Structure 1
Amino acid sequence: MALSSGPHSGQWLRTYRPVAAPRMRIVCFPHAGGSASFFRSWPQHLPADWEVSAVCYPGRETRMAEPAITSMAELAGRIADELAPRMTSRTVFFGHSMGASVAHEVAALLAGRGVAGPAVLLVSGRAAPHRLRRLGSGDDGLTDEELLARVGGLGGPGTEFLQDPELRELFLPPIRADYRLVEAYAEESKAPAVDIPLVAYYGTDDPDPVPDDVRAWAELTSDRCAARAFPGGHFYLVPHEAELVGDIRERLVALG
């Protein structure tokens, strides 16, 4: 089954520049509070027969009316259900920040089901799961003020909307839900290993994760693992999008 049939591939996947018979597919997993459209410009940096799809989490964009999911097990499980009948050996996963953890869990779930998983797992701006630490304190995690400070400090796209009280009411709930998921996952993660090549990307000025925690992804694959740093902070991939996607393209082409 093809991964996409049009610009909107269904409830869970959005595809930008659909390809009838793609030679390579990249499935992208957004960061906490992020949306599928974060990856809308990636196809311009890739060959015409490569396809980019992005996961659309509940609670944002076309799924704004749906409640966001606060359990990694539920989120990864539902995404795995969606992807399982669509996988080919020429599919790779890319996840940034929280999305790296989601992509990893989905890859592990597919492998556990005996389904062909991604040919390569690309993780970005995220500590290996066994190196994760909680962000907040106490059972309630981050307060609204702490959460806003945290999101604003990362400098991601769209943070200016959080300064407007009305827009904040719209955008804060899915961010809150994602951070609850992140907090719980940091405590509960069992760090499942995968048997596929892995590449870990990070920004040199990102205070969290630190480089050693990113490189620790190598401990979770029985295959090879590489790391690549780019100048910048947690959202280094915004100004360095073309360079990052170019690096991904070169690595995938080298696989043959």
Structure 2
Amino acid sequence: MLDSDRFVVESPYVRRARRSQWRHRLICFPYAGAGAAGFADWPQWLPADVELIAVQLPGREDRIREKPLTTMSALVRTVALALRPYLQGQFAFFGHSVGAVMAYELARALRDKRGVQPAHLLLSGHVAPDHPVSLKRLHDLPEPEFREALRELGGTAGSVVDDENLMGLLLPALRADFTLGETYRYAPGEPLSAPITVFGGDRDERAPLDGLAAWRRHTTGPFAEHVFAGGHFYLNESGAELAEAIGSALGQQTLRQEVRIP
């Protein structure tokens, strides 16, 4: 791994793998309970002209003892302020699961309040916000059932779920993160003009393929889908392939923009 592939802590919210000659800045939002470390390997898989920023939210990893954010509106306001110095040039958002909703709602807020949008929105493992889906609520389950639900989802290793001391630290933040996603309510609005590319696993019951396709109506720009083998956490096994697909999508966008130049 090159030095340019390593994260630098630039603020409580920002971990950046600096690239001196970047053309695209990819800002990544993690799923419930995860943090910036989930993207630590991505810089080595992305093209050299893509600079990666991973958002580190309170209550996760090295911020585990901080109070988590439990409403989408508060998260969007806070993260928009923290990311303001980085929202320049060609920036794109990626998010997985509840991170996809974070990315989408932040994109809408920036459009509505500042008149700017990401150059590309890359969304993974979550249905469109207005697509009907029936999922069991997890955030208010009793602790034994909540732990078992985490085990079944696969995002938290069984060895972690069974570790009483570790789970004693993680459970409050995990429950808060699921509260964030499960209490979110979509407010109808105008579609974005930024291109949207969606990613998912072909066996993901939480984000079935018709729900991924429903993101198409949330942009007036180009739309694309990529499906990988796997369930909700397909990216844990296919991280390199996903990062390469994202790099390709950003490169294709550059070509489209260059073609439009007189």
Match of residue 170 from structure 1: 169
**For residue 187 of structure 2, what is the amino acid of its counterpart?**
K
Q: Distance in 2 between matches of 1:29 and 1:129?
A: 17
- What's 1:160 paired with? 159
3-state SS in 1 of match to 2:11: coil
Equivalent residue, structure 1, for 2:87 = 87
Matches within 5 A, 1:198-217: 198-217=196-215
Q: Which amino acid aligns with 2:202?
A: T
Matches within 5 A, 1:37-116: 37-116=37-116
Give the drift of 1:23: 1.8
- For the 8 Å contact 2:150–2:156, the answer to whether it is kept is no
Structure 1 residues 52 and 117, CA gap change in structure 2 (3 angstroms):
same
**1:181-215 CA distances to partner (integer Å, 9 max, x unpaired)?**
11111xx2215432210011000011111111111
Q: Tell me what 1:3 maps to.
A: none
Q: Distance in 2 between matches of 1:37 and 1:132?
A: 32
State the alpha-carbon separation in 2 of the partners of residues 151 and 134 from structure 1. Answer: 18
Aligned to 1:189: 186
Code of the aligned partner of 2:223: C
Alpha-carbon distance in structure 1 between the residues aligned to 2:128 and 2:145: 23
Q: Secondary structure at the match of 2:75?
A: helix
For 1:233, the equivalent position in structure 2 comes to 231
- What is the CA–CA distance in structure 2 between the aligned matches of 1:91 and 1:214, rounded to whole Å? 22
Root mean square deviation of aligned Cα: 1.9
- Where do 5+ consecutive residues of structure 2 fail to align? 1-6, 255-262
Following the alignment from structure 1 to structure 2, what is the Cα–Cα distance between the partners of residues 245 and 196? 20
Measured in 2, the distance between the counterparts of 1:205 and 1:136 equals: 17
Distance 1:122 1:251, change over 3 A: same
Contact kept in structure 1, 2:24 and 2:89, CA below 8 Å:
no
In structure 2, distance between residues paired with 1:155 and 1:227: 23
Give the Cα–Cα distance (whole angstroms) in 2 for the partners of residues 137 and 249 of structure 1.
34
Aligned-residue offset at 1:50 = 2.1
Q: 1:93 aligns to what SS in structure 2? A: strand
Cα shift readout 1:116-169 (whole Å, capped 9, x = no counterpart): 22100000000111125464469x733323322222112125453121111111
- 1:13 pairs with 2:14: yes
Paired letter, 1:39: F
Shift of residue 246, structure 1, vs aligned partner: 1.1
Distance 2:145 2:109 in 1: 33
Residues 129 and 200 of structure 1, relative CA distance in 2, 3 Å threshold: same
Note closer, same or farther for the CA distance 1:116–1:46 as it changes in structure 2 (3 Å cut). same
Q: Mark the CA change 1:133 to 1:216 in structure 2 (over 3 Å): closer, same or farther.
A: same
Verify the 8 A CA contact 1:124 1:200 in the aligned structure 2. Answer: yes
The equivalent of 2:259 in structure 1 is none
CA distance in 1, matches of 2:230, 2:132: 21
Equivalent pairs counted in the alignment come to 247
Q: Gaps spanning 5+ residues in structure 1: where?
A: 1-5
CA distance in structure 2 between the aligned counterparts of 1:177 and 1:93, rounded to whole angstroms? 23
Q: State percent identity of aligned pairs.
A: 36
Contact 2:127-2:208 at 8 Å conserved across structures: yes
Q: Distance in 1 between matches of 2:29 and 2:39?
A: 9
8 Å CA contact 1:129, 1:191 repeated in 2 = no
**TM-score, normalising length from structure 1?**
0.90
Q: Deviations over 1:20-48 (max 9, x none)?
A: 34221110000011111100000111223
